[in-house]
Amino acid sequence: MKLSRQLQAFCARIGHEFAQPELLRQALRHPSVATVAGDDNQRLEFLGDRVLGLVMAETLYRADRDASEGQLAPRFNALVRKESCAKVARSVGLGEVLKLGRSEMLSGGRRKDAILGDAMEAVIAAVYLDAGFDAARAMVLRLWQGLIASVELDARDAKTALQEWAQGRGLALPQYIEIARTGPDHAPSFTIEVKLATGKSATATAGSKRVAEQEAARALLARLDPPG
C-alpha cells in the first residue's frame, strides 16, 4: 500500500524512500495502538538501538584515532542516549506521524522523550531492513550531524562537574530531589530538582531519574560562574 502524503513528507525529511512501506508503518506504531502482538515498534526499536550503536562506535573510532576507550565511551553514550534520539526525532517531525493510543495522546505522548527516542530507533531499524546498513548509516550520520559536532560538550558528566564546582567553593554537595513522577509505568517521566547550599536550583524532566538529574545539573551549571 502506498504511503500517505504525510508519511511521504516524513520520508523526504529523513532522506529515505521505502521499498517496503510497511516497515515504516510498523516503526511508527506505538504499543498503545497495536492490535496484534509483535505488530508494534518494540522489536524494531531493539534492532535500531544496535544499528545506531554500531554507527556511532565506528564514527567515533575513526574520527579520533588517538582517543582512549575512556574518552570514547562518554561521547558514545551522549550520542545514543534516549534524549539524543528524541532530539533528532523532533528535528524531523517524527511526533507528528506517530500512531498512538488515545491514553498516550491525551498524556502528551508525542512529546515524550522515551516514546520519541524509541520510535527514532525503530525508524533506523526500518531503514536498515529496507535497504541495508549503508543506507541506515548514511541516514544516521546526516540526522545526527549536529550532535556529533557538539559531542564533547554533551558528553560532559554534569553531576560530577556540579559537585566539583560546589566543593571548590567549600559548599555542601548538591542535593537532588524528585518532585514529580508522571506517565504510565512503562514510560514514566521524572522531574528532578537540584539544589545548592547557596539556594540556587534548577529542575529537569526526563524518562529516567539518572538522566533528569544530569539534565538538572547541566541546567544549573549554565547559570553558575565557571569552575575555577
Concatenated DSSP letters of 194-225: EE-TTS-EEEEEESSHHHHHHHHHHHHHTTSP
Composition of the chain by helix, strand, coil, percent to 5:
60, 10, 30
- By the 10 Å C-beta count (0-12 exposed, 13-18 middle, 19+ buried), 39 is classed as middle
Strand order in the sheet with 201-206: 175-182, 189-195, 201-206
Measured in whole angstroms, the distance separating CA 80 from the mean position of its chain's CA atoms is: 7
Catalytic residue of the set 83, 121, 193, 213: 121
Catalytic residue of the set 40, 49, 104, 113: 49
- Cβ atoms of 99 and 26 closer than 8 Å: no
Q: Is 49 a catalytic residue?
A: yes
Q: Is 121 a catalytic residue?
A: yes
Q: Return all residues near 122 (Cβ < 8 A) that are at least 6 apart.
A: 26, 27, 28, 41, 42, 44, 45, 48
* Catalytic residue annotation: 49, 121
